[in-house]
Amino acid sequence: MGGEAVVLAIDPGFRTGCKCAVIDATGALLAHLTIFPHTGDAARADKEVASLVARFQVTAVAVGNGTGGRETEAFLKKVLGGSPVTVVSVSETGASVYSASDIAREEMPDLDLTYRGAVSIGRRLQDPLAELVKVEPRALGVGQYQHDVNQALLAARLDAVVETAVNRVGVELNTASAPLLAHVAGIGPGLAKAIVKHRGERGPFKSRRQLLQVPGLGPARFEQAAGFLRIRRSEHPLDASAVHPERYALVERIAQDLGTPLAQLVGNAAAAARIDVRRYVGGDVGEPTLHDIVSELARPGRDPRASFEAPAFRDDVNGVDDLEVGMELDGVVTNVTNFGAFVDIGVHQDGLVHVSELADRFVRDPHEVVQAGQRLKVRVLSVDRERKRIALSAR
């Protein structure tokens, strides 16, 4: 989802109820309770959900995609029908592992581990990368041989992927977890915890400069880290962009030369196109740097990832027993292996699209045509209800 939003997170269940947790825009816990919409007083559950949404001005509901997930989604859509609140199914893979981890105990020492799972589900909707880096790679269920490879090498490779994402996308300072902040240049594990603690005690950061108030974060560390950190609702227009604070004066001068207020220059592609970079070359500022600044001014905080769109599972298909051969369904790729791709179609059991059914041409490597998280239209080829195996085709 990305972005600062108050989220109601629900870890669904039948006999033990649905664990609910409301988290604020920074991922901090505001309230938690258990409701029983499926095996208890549904009317009471209705009122409790409506009360939480109204009381905390919830803008989205994250529902774990495990047992009871689809039934809970249907319940919520009935309760929230007509409201602007979005209900989204969120992968809960590894959430139980996180709940019992040292990181979870450190973050939420006084909270029962069953509620920690709900908090994790909500944070995954707000900022997936910030939450998933807390889970050991083999518990994520992505890839074909994650249990067989050297775990130290696997963790190192994951760290490299995270660092690449941090460099390309940046990190939202007011939602990032300590494990994610630790990957930012100039910020190690200790300083990352100090930043999160400072944010928890004093509220969200309003500007990049406020980072200098964090104990242990001096000018040198600030200079290293600032360019990778973003603050969407900052007091300074450039804090939401990749422009480094040391270049703010230069951009302010450019805005003055154009006769355009800085706030109106940021995000104004037409105005950015009028900038003659040659006028500002000098000192330690070369043309490549200036071209990067102009590109950032045209599209500040540009994100290479696709825009978020919740999967549209069919309301009448909630379990394997509801599937029929020939059905066409929307799904989300959860895993890609050498022999095909596993796709979540909203029935608690992923279906397999064999490599021979991925395209209307020969596919040697499934990774060439699909990737985890991709939305995919599929057709049901066969259903083995006894063994709970689903064969799908994307052709």
- By mean pLDDT, which of 136-140, 294-298, 351-355 is the weakest? 136-140
The C-alpha atoms of residue 246 and residue 225 are separated, in whole angstroms, by 12
320-393 has the same fold as 148-235: no
- Residue 56 clears pLDDT 90, i.e. is over it: yes
pLDDT at 1: 47
Band of pLDDT at residue 3, cut at 50, 70 and 90: low
The percent of residues above 90 in pLDDT, for the chain, comes to: 35
- Residue 242 clears pLDDT 50, i.e. is over it: yes
Q: Give mean pLDDT, residues 237-241.
A: 89
Q: Give mean pLDDT, residues 262-278.
A: 89
- Residue 374: partners with Cβ closer than 8 Å, 6 or more residues away: 332, 333
Q: Do the strands 328-337 and 340-344 form a parallel or antiparallel pair, or are they unpaired?
A: antiparallel
pLDDT at 254: 92
Band of pLDDT at residue 306, cut at 50, 70 and 90: low
Band of pLDDT at residue 111, cut at 50, 70 and 90: very high
Structure-model confidence comparison of residues 193 and 165, the more confident one: 193
CATH class for domain 320-393? mainly beta
The percent of residues above 70 in pLDDT, for the chain, comes to: 93
Q: Give mean pLDDT, residues 235-248.
A: 89
The C-alpha atoms of residue 91 and residue 165 are separated, in whole angstroms, by 20
Domain ranges of the chain: 7-126, 148-235, 243-303, 320-393
Supply 197's token pair. 């603690």
Model-level pTM?
0.71
| pLDDT, tens only, 143-189 | 555 566 777 887 787 778 777 777 777 888 988 888 889 888 889 89
Q: Give me Rg for the CA atoms of the chain.
A: 23
pLDDT at 5: 83
CA angle 202/203/207 to nearest 5° reads 100
pLDDT at 373: 80
CATH number of 148-235: 3.30.1360.30, 3.40.50.970, 1.10.150.310, 3.30.540.10?
1.10.150.310
Taking alpha carbons only, the member of 86, 68, 75, 172 closest to residue 122 is 86
| pLDDT, tens only, 275-288 | 988 888 888 888 88
Residue 18 has φ and ψ, to the nearest 5°, of: -100, 120
- Residue 374 clears pLDDT 90, i.e. is over it: no
Supply 157's token pair. 């490779």
Q: Give mean pLDDT, residues 186-205.
A: 91
Tell me the CA distances in angstroms from 339 to 125, 148, 364, one per residue in order: 30, 17, 9
Scanning 127-218, the segments in alpha helix (DSSP H) are 128-132, 151-169, 178-181, 189-202
CA torsion 198-191-161-310 (nearest 10°) is -10
User: Can you tell me which residue has the tokens 């977890």?
Assistant: 177
Q: Crossing angle, helix 248-258 and helix 287-298, to 10 degrees?
A: 70
Average pLDDT, the chain: 86
Band of pLDDT at residue 64, cut at 50, 70 and 90: very high
Which DSSP string corresponds to 281-305? -BTTB-HHHHHHHHHHHHSTT--SS
- Residue 32: partners with Cβ closer than 8 Å, 6 or more residues away: 19, 20, 21, 22, 111, 115, 118, 119
| H or E element, residue 381 | strand 375-384
pLDDT at 183: 87
| pLDDT, tens only, 211-230 | 999 999 999 999 999 989 98
Instruction: For domain 243-303, say whether CATH 3.30.230.10 is its number.
Output: no
CATH no., domain 7-126: 3.30.420.140
